[in-house]
A and B are shown apart, each in its own frame.
Chain A
Amino acid sequence: MSQATENHASSGLERRNFIRAMIYTLTSLIGGTLAASVGTYLFGTPQVETDSWADAGDVSELQPGSPQLITFQRSREDSWKIHNEKASAWVILNNDRKLTAFSPLCTHLGCAYNWQSDKHQFSCPCHGSIFSATGQVVSGPAGRPLDRYEVKLEGSRLWLGPIKNSQSA
């Protein structure tokens, strides 16, 4: 093989390699940009207001130590809709006059639980989780204490904010 043919062949090979590299680069750029756009769309957090507060009523009659299920009206932004709906909370006044409002759903699988006044505990009918009056897990499959609403008091009126998830035990 002559020198000229060899040079020609090697420059042809270089060109071929360059073209291949370009194909991979451009395809990766397109794929990467599309993947980033899709990822943002699917896993990004929509700008939906979740911290709305609702007037949950007068709590001046509440007795310390005994939780009470209260219902109230709240507006909730749900993607492109705003629901005006009934919601409920278990409200308990501690002996030191501190108010706590629990989300009415069990932290195990989201069933509604009840208060057993004779045993002074919350009990979930679905899988038998038991919570104390302070919301701590006593027994059963629930992995964390009851979730709580953010609360604030305006005189004797209770305002309930967003529900904050409790930490795992």
Chain B
Amino acid sequence: MQRLFAQASDWIEHRTGLPSAVRHFLFEDIPASSGWPQVFGSVALFLFLVQALTGILLSFDYAPTPGDAYSSVSYILRKVAGGRMIHGLHHWGASFIVVVVFLHMAQVFIYGAYKKPRETTWIAGAALLLITLAFGLTGYLLPWDNRAYWGTMVTTQIIATAPVLGPYLTTLIGATNGIGVLTFSRFYALHTLLLPASTALLITIHVYLVRRHGITPRPDDIAEKQKFYPRQAFRDVLAVFIAFVMLFAAAALIDVPLERLADPTDTSYIPRPEWYFLFLFQLLKLFQGSLEPIGTVVLPGIAVAALFVLPFVHGRHLKFLDRRLASAGVVLLVFAFWGALTATAITTSPRQNRPTLVPPEAVEWAQISPEQIAGVGYFRSSHCDSCHNLLTGNPKPGPNLASSDVHHSKEWLIQHFRNPEKMKTRDAAPDNHLSIPQLNALSLFISGLKPDSASLMQTISPDYIAAAQTYVVGACASCHKVNGIGGGVGPSLNGLSGRRSKEWIKAHFAAPQQLSPGSIMPPYHFSPPEENRLIAYLLSLPD
């Protein structure tokens, strides 16, 4: 067995040189004074790899368009096996990276490891820090919930205030006309293409430079150098393991926030950035009016510039940083300033005035008639959205349905769906295969659209839409009223949850006359999921 292994190793060595490259890497000479403070670089690298892995996995199930992004994230969280874990690792991993990258930089700063000849190593690292923050910023938009939408709204407005560059940057991120599909696509492209490629390149350069110049020894370290493997390798692996256990626990125990679908008309929403940007958020409050660019651009700009020029100005102007204690003091001061701003932001920001997480049964949907809810589903399945926007979006050939000045009657709409050529429209609606009740539902949905209801319609869960469609196809409205609409033969279904149990409704579907003697309701035999969805919907109807 051992001989076979040696032979295989020889074969690979002869052809690729890989085993000797690994040995060369592991048996690097490092200063004897290296120890625990030097582990953060490896932990950061490991976390970047976890982000890459989980990011690729998420992209397998993620639909990168504003129309589908939210539903697909919700699908990953609620339906994909292990989806919550992978999403959690990616979400919390982002925060972990920020913490570890800052710890890594603090250690390098305190140990003076950025000084000649390691200036370029520091600059590559500083660029990686900015990329890490850019990852956080662009990834924040991708779930397309209210938090994402409104948080990014503030970010794009901040970017727009940059002197000279503002308008160009705004065009570059596709936010000239507010946040829309273009902003979304650009953020997605940055997050999944440009930033990962830049990260890979910079990490390669950074690690190469670390290898080239070696780890910075303590000034008094005159001991014989030691090998990286196994002692320092063990410290690195143990630190990586601790970080991984913490990340895994966070992913398993803390739910990733997914709020309501992005709602551009929600004026009550209080946007808040990710925690590591809160200090900036708070800084802006200190500079009002014409001084605002100082907080948005000038101070952050100076901080970034200081980061990059630090290794060059240190020798002549910042002699005091030669003392490790002084450097540690500077780091402490920076962290204290950052911590104070962050803490103030947390304590002084008003709380959201209503629960922001999606409740299991969103009561707002229950106010809409089942026909209209079902209409949302028919609107999507008949691909009406290929030619019509509901409220916002890129220009499409058909009119914008919620904000259009022209309002057609239901009858006109049904003719438009069934026989578009006869109607006076420039572009015909394609043929569809909806039945009369389904067409009715679709026309009710479209004729009832208003700007404020359009965005609410987009938040309705697929389960509710499916339930409402069952309601429409089952012609329940022939006999029952919901929210005042429907026939009067049977009882109104509003407030059903106060009168009947789930089991009763189930039994009633199967044999109505047994439970309601004299009822003319025919028996309904739904599939179990269909029945469960319909009952959940009926029980959520308000009084």
Contacts and interface: CB of A to CB of B under 8 A. Distances in A.
A154 B525 contact: yes
Q: Tell which of A41, A75, A85 has the most Cβ of chain B within 10 Å.
A: A41
B75 interface: yes
A80 B433 contact: no
Nearest to B78: A47
B134 interface: no
The majority secondary structure among interface residues of chain B is helix
Interface stretch (B99-107, B235-243, B330-338): B235-243
Contact of B81 (A16, A33, A45): A45
B509 interface: no
A159 B527 CA distance: 10
Interface stretch (A24-32, A99-107, A138-146): A24-32
Contact of B528 (A16, A33, A51): A51
Contacts of B538: none
Contacts, number: 114
Contact of B466 (A41, A42, A82): A82
A83 B433 CA distance: 13
Contacts of A84: 377-378, 381-382, 438, 469
Given A80-B74, A154-B525, A42 B57 contact: yes
B214 interface: no
B63 A80 contact: yes
Given A51-B528, A73-B435, A30 B61 contact: no
Interface residues of A, number: 41
B76 to A, nearest CB: 9
A81 interface: yes
B169 interface: no
Contacts of B233: 23
A81 B433 contact: no
B377 A41 contact: no
B529 to A, nearest CB: 4
Chain B CB count within 10 A is highest, among A19, A80, A83, for A80
| Nearest 6 A/B pairs, CB to CB | A44-B81, A40-B82, A80-B75, A84-B381, A49-B529, A80-B71
Interface of A: 16, 19-20, 22-23, 26-27, 29-30, 33-34, 37-38, 40-42, 44-49, 51-53, 55, 73, 75, 77, 79-86, 152, 154, 159, 161
Given A46-B81, A80-B75, 4 more contacts: A51-B527, A51-B529, A73-B433, A81-B71
